[in-house]
Structure 1
Amino acid sequence: MQTVTVAQYLARRLGELGVEHLFGVPGDFSLTLLDHMLADGRQQWVGSPNELNAGYAADGYARTRGMAALVTTFGVGELSAIDAVAGAYAENVPLVQITGAPPTAVAGRGALVHHTLGDGDFGHFARAYAEVTADGAVLTAAGAATRIDEVLATAVREMRPVYLAVPVDVATAPVQPPAAPLPVGAADPRAVDRFRDAAAGLLAGARSAVLVAGHLVERTGSVDAFARLTAAAASPVVTLTSARGAIDPGAPQYAGVYCGDLGAKRAVLAVDTADVVIEAGTLMADAVTGMFSHRDDPAHTIHLGVHAATVAGRVFEGVPFATALEVLTGLVDGRVLRRELPDVPARGPEPGETLDQAALWAHLQRLLPRGHRLVTDIGTTFWGAAGITLPAGTDVVAQPVWSSIGYALPATLGCAVADPSRRPVLVIGDGAAQMTVQELGALARLPHPPIVIVVDNAGYTIERALQSPQAVYNDVAPWDWCALARAFAPGVDLLTAEPGTPAELDAALAEAVRTPERCAVLHVRIHPLDVPAGLRGLADKYQGR
């Protein structure tokens, strides 16, 4: 059998996992690696102006494809990307950080080469990555293929990022091509049986239940399986702010967005009055629970995690998320867990005479097309998105657990590359956008470019809402965002607008929707102290903590 290089082997394994693009920034230690990875044409290169942007883009890509690859050079490149990889770890996003490393002999003798700390220790950065990844390896020629398989299988199984450092000489070492699928593990039948018995026991005495959809429903590709569970249970369903695409908002069981007592009133009622709470892939962090104001009731809760399920506080390892969904569907099918909730009218944003947060989100709610992706940063835009009703087939891509501002702009690139059929609509504050603005050039040149709405409130308004609203450290320099977009994409036919009234915003949004072939950049100025209702509630809790 003809051999392939280690780099080609890695590219083939990534192709099997649906990875058709490599994100990153080249460097001298990664050039040989990239030449061999790209030689077979299984992946296309998507370069970024910096490694942090590339990491955020890979994160957005993985949320769509289920896996992504980020390629950087040793030291300076991989450390630039580590914030993005840490965010992927916190948010259950599987990707692989691939580092082009110095030759094995160079590292072995501790040579004082560039991109090192000058101390002869070449292990600093692999040790740093061990803190924010589920598995990792510095490859050697002997056993490279086996370690690649083990590390990638961990990423898929654990839904976490992993790390591979590939020295220059190892990248070209010969190995046999992949001969079998990756071994990603399976359910433990005995654990599944014990989980089934425990869940059946808890449900036996229940007259009602509520389903709480968390981020793993979408992250694991389980939307259809979750729909089967909701249909079988006929119980109310709520979504966390991190799981807006888990269910069609027009479904009869849907009771709204749950964010502790800051959520929709109907959602709060559904959770608070249920005999059993079924948490499907939730991570109850402060930003998605209204500063921990959610119902925390382990004795009456069934929780489904990545590969473990919990019933009334009892943990069953070896029960993958998809398997647990299937088990619960069988248990509730035919049971009378239906519960009618009183009609509590939804209170979304209402536009007024001025262009403020309420007007912005009311118009977006009305004009956002079906099937698009709403991408937001963790600031005011995240909380604005939390308060609107989405059309069918639309989800929200955000990073509420890691909450690294600037994430959304490069993540939009990853989403658009991963699935060109779903046009992203990016809504981002000016403070966040200034951090990762360089990716505007790539967004504008996409065959299917996004709609970009920069909410200019002259700085970090989410911080103003939480504390010290007049503090100088929350101010940022004003930028001309429309001119900036044209500077980043000279010669590209852009749609730019600076709407100053609700009517002008309406017209600009309508034009952006009508011309999907053009990247639209809308510069919307908002008063620095104007915040969405959800953020006002969060700020009150933060200040009273």
Structure 2
Amino acid sequence: MSYTVAEFITLRLKQLGCYHVFGVPGTSCSDFIDSLVVDPDMKFINSVNELEAGYAADGYGRQGSLGAVSVAYGVGTLSMANGVASALTERVPLAVINGGPTDKDLRLEAQYDVLFAHSTGFGKTDLNVFKELTLAAEEIRVVEGAADRIDHLLITAIEQSGPIYIEIPQDMWKKPIGDFSPTLSYSAKRFDLGVKPFITAVVNKLEQATSPIVILGAELVRFGLIDEALQFVESQNLPFYTTLLSKSLVSESHPLFCGVYDSDLAPSTVTRGVESSDCVIALGCLFGIDHRYMVTSLADKLIRVAFNKAMHGSKVLPKLSLGTSLEALNKLPKIVVENRKISSVAGLSYQERRAKWGAKLAPDSYTGTLGHDGIFAAIGDFLDEVKSPYYICLDTCLASFPGADIPVTDTQCFLANPIWLSIGQGTPAAIGAYYATQKRPLIVTGDGGFQMVSQAFSSFVQDNIPAIVVIIDNGSYAIEQFLIDGSFFTEPGTPPLDYVMLNGWKYENMPHVYNGGIGLRVTTYQDLLGALQYAHARPDQPCVIAAQIPMTDLPAENREFLGI
């Protein structure tokens, strides 16, 4: 059977487990989109805008598959660049498939200085930009060898877990691709140069340690290594934590699970368990600014391997793969002593996980005026009550801190953006997560982040995605106020910064604008719990819930930080 270039890429996406491509129609990619539409196994998801498409593909790729996105050249691709940067930073396999200028377009621009559609006039802008935002970026201008080059790029996205960029001239989509292998076969490269010094460091630390722990990270999901990691922690009886990026990687009902270390602002039981450990083994973890204190303060007590790089403290070991590391770790004899108290949080409610905050909780957090802690208490109680497999998407905002403590017993059902920290990512990323998992999204977002991507609610309506969106409505970019000038929260009468203030939206009226769904506004814990129950009973509709809280409200950990 003869395949065109467009049909070949469609085939390869399917072979890599990608059955949904997100995008916005454009003439430069229309022939590729046509190949998706006629394929009964594929679906092109028409996004409201390009940034939404990029975030959705990012959310899809986080579920152990390959995300894919295709939008118009120039005006489309540059609009979604932030979504691709998110995938690069947090190591998500994703393919950007772009239709580029033809040879005639480039010749006429060079000869007559007349721009082709969406050209900046300053060279191959898309290609140059995405060389900086992907693991590999190529334009493929001739059919000869195209299949092998495309295969190499797609394999790179999978093997190295990150985004790649493929640019095809728009008059080449329908050309025959020529001969190619009917299957995409490859063997993942594994590096073992550093295995001996890594294992030596682990054994030496474990033999001397009195409080060793493990932190499990997102690479375990990306490469399907969760079982191997669990084998290690269980065989050595090691308490383990996750990062916010890897929350729900393992069910939080596991008896060795001790919490989410999202930063040094985590609950004291978590920070004490991690930061006071004399041996921390981090497997597949990405560390960002919120982990800086932990990483630097532990120094050589921290041994880690992730994405082919192993380190002992600040010392970089020879190249080593996570899979190879786990194979070696699982051959070790029993080292860790058994008679240690493990501070597991399995079975604890949200309120119980955060009980140590005590007086730092805002007054009446769970019964009176709604605040950050009350919002998550209601969500935790709701999830415990309904026992349904929701997919939780937590956007970057002040809620990122208490959101880490939502009890999750399901697996691979949580998404956040804690390394790249892009506000607004969570809502559209939920679209991709929904198509990859079919779990109903439960999104928690700040009002500032939601206003950036609010059109995603239109996609929920159009595509019958029954998402529940809880908007923390405090009328400001509260996280920026906290980071720039915390005196607003500590000194009564201090005005907020002018530039963090938001126009107050009536979010509950959005269903009227977007022609579908449910809109609600709540001000108390009981109201929010009732609203969640109301939305849950209507699984055929999306719902937006504006959770109105005082502008001065802070989560307990932020109050602790400011000394309130």
| TM norm structure 1 | 0.90
Bigger mean CA offset, 237-246 vs 426-435:
237-246
Moved more, 207-216 or 332-341: 332-341
Q: Is the 8 A contact 1:154 1:184 kept in 2?
A: no
Which amino acid counterpart does residue 233 of structure 1 have in structure 2? Q
Give a deviation string over 1:44-95, Cα, whole Å, max 9, x none.
Answer: 0101121111000111111114211110121111111111111111111110
1:529 matched to 2:552: yes
**Aligned residues of 1:307 and 1:317 also touching (Cα < 8 A):** no
Asked if 1:451 is matched to 2:468, the reply is yes
Alignment partner of 2:509 out of 469, 475, 483: 483
Give the equivalent residue in structure 2 for 1:224. Answer: 227
Relative to structure 2, which stretch is displaced further, 422-431 or 106-115? 106-115
Range with bigger deviation, 521-530 or 326-335: 326-335
1:105-254 equivalences under 5 Å are 105-110=104-109, 112-117=114-119, 119=121, 121-140=122-141, 141-175=143-177, 176-183=179-186, 185-188=188-191, 191-192=194-195, 195-197=198-200, 199-254=202-257
Per-residue displacement from partner, 1:90-142 (whole Å, max 9, x unpaired)? 111110111111223322443623434453x5412211111111001101222
Contact 1:452 1:520 in 2 (8 A): yes
Q: Residue 359 and residue 127 in structure 1: after superposition, are their counterparts in 2 closer, same or farther (change >3 A)?
A: same
Alignment deviations for residues 3-53 of structure 1 (CA, whole Å, 9 cap, x no partner)? 211111111111111100110111111112222344333420101121111
Percentage identity across aligned positions?
27
Indicate which of 431, 435, 442 corresponds to 1:425.
442
C-alpha separation between the residues in 2 aligned to 1:446 and 1:37? 17
- 2:11 is matched with 12
Equivalent of 1:438, from 452, 455, 460? 455
Instruction: Tell me: CA distance 1:6–1:263, structure 2 relative to 1, closer, same or farther (3 Å).
Output: same
Q: Is the 8 A contact 1:237 1:255 kept in 2?
A: yes
SS in 2 for 1:528: coil
SS state at 1:517 partner: coil
Of residues 397, 405, 408, the one that matches 1:379 is: 397
Secondary structure class of the residue paired with 2:244: coil
Q: Say if 1:19 and 1:65, in contact at 8 Å, map to a contact too.
A: no
**Matched letter for residue 456 of structure 1:** D
Could you tell me which of 371, 375, 378 is aligned with 1:356? 371
Deviations 1:214-246 (Å, cap 9, x if unpaired)?
Answer: 232333333333222221121111222222112
- Per the TM alignment, residue 378 of structure 1 is displaced from its structure 2 partner at its CA by 0.8
Contact 2:262 2:401 in 1 (8 A): no
CA shift digits 1:312-363 (9 cap, x unpaired): 5554555322332232232255653663246997325751321222221111
Partner of 1:336: 337
Bigger mean CA deviation after superposition, 78-87 or 496-505: 496-505
Aligned to 1:303: 304
- Within 5 Å, which residues of 2 pair with 1:442-521? 442-468=459-485, 469=488, 470-488=496-514, 490=515, 492=516, 494-521=517-544
- 2:358 maps to none
Cα 1:218–1:535 shift into 2, 3 Å: farther
Tell me, in whole angstroms, the C-alpha distance in 1 between the residues paired with 2:338 and 2:403.
31
Superposition deviation, residue 474 in structure 1 = 0.8
User: What CA distance in whole angstroms lies between the structure 2 residues aligned with 1:110 and 1:433?
Assistant: 40
**CA spacing shift, 1:447–1:28, aligned 2, 3 Å:** closer
- Secondary structure of 2:76's partner? helix
Return closer, same or farther for 1:358/1:178 CA change in 2, 3 Å cut-off.
same
* Equivalences for residues 9-48 of structure 1 within 5 A: 9-48=8-47
What is the alpha-carbon distance in structure 2 between the residues aligned to residue 314 and residue 498 of structure 1?
Answer: 52
Match of 2:354 among 329, 337, 347: 347
Aligned partners of 1:79, 1:428: CA distance in 2, in Å?
A: 25
What's the secondary structure of 1:476's corresponding residue?
Answer: coil
Q: How many Å apart are 1:198 and its aligned residue? A: 5.0
Name the aligned partner's letter for residue 498 of structure 1.
R
Task: Report the number of matched residues.
Answer: 533
> Residues 466 and 539 of structure 1 are in contact (CA less than 8 Å); yes or no, is this contact kept in structure 2?
no
The one-letter amino acid paired with 1:178 is S
Separation in 1 of the partners of 2:454 and 2:7?
33
State the TM-score, normalized to the length of structure 2: 0.87
Q: Tell me how far apart the structure 2 counterparts of residues 497 and 37 of structure 1 sit (CA, whole Å).
A: 37
| Distance of aligned partners of 1:313 and 1:200 in 2 relative to their CA distance in 1, 3 Å threshold | farther
8 Å Cα contact 1:91/1:401 also seen in 2: yes
Matches of 1:338 and 1:238 in 2, distance apart? 19
Cα distance, 1:501–1:58 mapped onto 2, change above 3 Å: same
Q: Is the 8 A contact 1:155 1:162 kept in 2?
A: yes
User: CA 1:76/1:267 → structure 2, altered by over 3 Å: closer, same or farther?
Assistant: same
Q: Structure 1 pair 373/165, CA: closer, same or farther in 2 (3 Å)?
A: same
Q: Which position in structure 1 is the counterpart of 2:80?
A: 81
Q: CA RMSD in A?
A: 2.6
Can you give the 5+ residue segments of structure 2 that lack an aligned partner in the other structure?
346-351, 356-360, 489-495
Distance in 2, matches of 1:316 and 1:5, equals 45
The range that moved more, 359-368 or 338-347, is 338-347
Contact 2:244–2:404 (Cα < 8 Å) also in 1: yes
Question: Is the Cα contact below 8 Å between 1:23 and 1:47 reproduced in 2?
Answer: yes
